[in-house]
Amino acid sequence: MLREVDIVGVGITPFGKRRDTSLRSLAADAMTAAIADAGLVAGDIGLLVSGNAMAGVLTGQEMIRGQVAATEAGLAAVPVLNVENACTSSSSAVHVALAAIRSGMYDTVLVCGAEKMTGLPTQTVLDAMTSGADIERIPEVTRELTGTDKVESFFMAVYAEMTRAYQERSGATPEDLADVAVKNSAHGALNPNAQYRRALSRDEVLAARLVAPPLTTLMCSPIADGAAALVLRAADRGNSGRAPVRIRACALGSGVPGAGAPAIPLERRTAEAAYAEAGVGPEDLDVVEVHDAASPNELIMYEELGLCGAGEGPKLLASGATSLGGRVPVNPDGGLVSRGHPVGATGCAQLVELVTQLRGRAGERQVSGARIGLAENAGGYLHPDPAACTVTILAGAGA
């Protein structure tokens, strides 16, 4: 029987434009906070699994990114594994850490996701993001999606085409797309670590500059810096008297490119695997985090996660069910568009939010009675599937 594993400590930095703070310092701050939250010390950590997506491309620091951050955090002697898996880098790191503990090789594992994206020309960062696609196929895919050879942002062009296809099959209006950003900006205004903390109006979102029609800038996740960390510990080792949150499932899937891709999207396949592992269904969820790198993707994820039926995403949003105070709040921390999307940190940040909610410590954005939470984190692109997807399900005390 597999060992049960808990998250016993979390740490997160403010997200945003942290130009005077290095990547290693961001990671060290999050790791130090997570260890302290767990009531542990550096000597209790058996393994560090470090998630980062772009430092190699942006700074030239390859191979030992986690070791560099560990040294800054006073963890120089701790074994380190480095995980790079596009936007799912740190949720994939959680998957690795969970396997390490379940195997019996380690009892306590620290996971950190960190990214430093500011301080460079915007196009340099966008080009680095594009390395999350099959670079040999980018010209072909770009022409297929847009009819042109070059776009401002490859990934926003991808999300724009997904959005247009979703509008055709669901009837979603531009107002529906904007209302996702409006909802999440209201949530982000309550999150002290969010990059943007101002509630937006529908008119503001629709009037913003178009990036890739129908997506405006206020529907797109921003360039950001930040880090988040988690301490995972075998339940049979105790929880240091803290409030543990049980990992019920952590499913990792890879996309399939081209005509051979399954009819069922990767996110739905991965969610179904996670539900089966956890022994729960979408009807059991109290709080959800989804990868809304573009706001309309949240509507699509409502359906892929089974929160509503096909084509019913706009109706679910309009009902208020996914807002704070609703039946199943989604992205109570503001999501990627308002909280920010430092790529390698996003997966861990989603789980920090779920742990905070399941502990009942989210303050003004607390989801009342939250017991079971799910995080969906996808990244990269293989056309038509994302390259990777992780779906994690957590349960609070007594769930």
Q: Are strands 215-216 and 210-212 parallel, antiparallel or unpaired?
A: antiparallel
Active site annotation includes 308? no
Token couple for 289:
């985090």
Half-sphere exposure (Cβ direction) of 58: Cα atoms closer than 13 Å = 27
Greatest C-alpha distance within the chain: 58
Three-point CA angle 284, 287, 292, nearest 5°: 120
The answer for residues whose C-beta is within 8 angstroms of residue 366's C-beta and 6 or more apart is 357, 360
Run of H or E residues at 385: none
Taking the alpha carbons of 331, 275, 282, 157 in that order, is the dihedral positive or negative?
Answer: positive
Query: What is d(CA 203, CA 223) in angstroms, rounded to the nearest whole number?
Result: 23
Query: What is d(CA 378, CA 270) in angstroms, rounded to the nearest whole number?
Result: 10
Query: What is d(CA 353, CA 229) in angstroms, rounded to the nearest whole number?
Result: 11
- Round the CA-based radius of gyration of the chain to a whole number and report it: 19
Query: What is d(CA 234, CA 2) in angstroms, rounded to the nearest whole number?
Result: 10
Tokens 């701050």 belong to 29
Of the listed 291, 341, 348, 383, which one is catalytic?
341
Token couple for 341:
């999307």
The phi, psi pair for 254, rounded to 5°, reads -120, 145
Cis peptide bond prior to 214, omega within 30° of 0: yes
Active site annotation includes 95? no
Three-point CA angle 133, 379, 228, nearest 5°: 130
Token couple for 294:
């573009």
Collapsing DSSP to helix, strand or coil, 70 comes out as helix
Catalytic residues: 87, 341
